[in-house]
Amino acid sequence: MENKDIKLINEDGTRIDGRRPDELRPIRMKVGLLERADGSAYLEWGGNKILAAVYGPREMYPKHQQDPARAVVRARYSMAPFSVDERKRPGPDRRSVELSMVISNALSAAVLTEEFPRTVIDVFIEVLQADAGTRIAGLTAASLALADAGIPMRDLVVGCTAGKIEGVVVLDLNKEEDNYGEADVPLGILPRTGEIVLFQMDGMMTEEELCTALDMAYNAAMEIHRMQVKALKDVYMKEAEEGGE
Ligand code: CDP
């Protein structure tokens, strides 16, 4: 949706929230805060507040849904009624079914699913507060929760969005930019190899703009990956130190 009355880029080239085009919103993450889940993570990204919890791997029921060769990674993305401006009707809708699917696919590409045939790994993503980019923030939190559950993965998955507003390629769109900008491209990246495990696009960009957007997203993915590693180390190094006393 474009709106000519709303100015998204300031005279000095900064954005309405003061960020440079290639600057992320503030991100905070914490691992392992739920006792009853096998793994969990909480993430704040801009105004997004997201909790992810993992159960499994455990035997898949009903049996006809089992995959004899690998585990099924089943993510469920859900928005709390109070997470958005207009109360969200509880329960799945078309959007959350789509997001659950793309997140499941992205996580499946990272998890070593062949190590756990016939099982299911459930990943619950609860959006407590939404502020644009919830799918990529949810994906980032989910991969941390999987790591916390001790599930072997080829790599952590990093979510990130790039896009275009008023002709400028920018990183990590906020709510106004998402609503009134020209394009947004949510991405899931495996930072070690640079593989893309989630790629969607809303709006139009030229090939050159898309290349710039991908470059920005890759650089940001490295930065977010460092935060993920730190969040994991904060818990596990501390536990190791305490255990060693
Ligand atoms: O959240 P994400 O950017 O991955 O998905 P979106 O469908 O592009 O939604 C963008 C934003 O719109 C969300 O993050 C919410 O802030 C908002 N939204 C909303 O206010 N009400 C909804 N029912 C769905 C989304």
pLDDT tens string 160-201 = 999 999 999 999 999 999 999 999 999 999 999 999 999 999
> Comparing C-alpha atoms, which of 41, 214, 28, 213 is closest to residue 139?
41
Confidence of residue 3 (pLDDT cuts 50, 70, 90): low
DSSP state at residue 25: P
For residues 191 and 220, the answer to whether their CB atoms sit within 8 Å is no
**Which protein residue has the closest C-alpha to ligand 1 atom 17?**
132
Helices (H), the chain: 94-110, 134-148, 175-180, 207-244
- Tell how far the Cα of 23 is from the centroid of ligand 1, in angstroms: 20
Query: What's domain 27-243's architecture?
Result: 2-Layer Sandwich (3.30)
Q: Choose which residue among 48, 84, 176 to substitute to test ligand 1 binding: the one with the highest number of ligand atoms within 8 A of its C-beta.
A: 84
**Digit-coded pLDDT (tens) for 35-88:** 999 999 999 999 999 999 999 999 999 999 999 999 999 999 999 999 999 999
Segments making up each domain of the chain, as ranges: 27-243
Q: Choose which residue among 134, 173, 184 to substitute to test ligand 1 binding: the one with the highest number of ligand atoms within 8 A of its C-beta.
A: 134
Query: By CB neighbour count within 10 A (0-12 exposed, 13-18 middle, 19+ buried), where does 110 fall?
Result: buried
**Which protein residue has the closest C-alpha to ligand 1 atom 16?**
131
**Which protein residue has the closest C-alpha to ligand 1 atom 13?**
132
- Copy the structure tokens of residue 56: 């499994």
> What is the reported pLDDT for 237?
86
In sequence order, the β-bridge partners of residue 163 are: 170, 184
How far is the C-alpha of 136 from the C-alpha of 165, rounded, in Å? 19
> What is the reported pLDDT for 240?
83
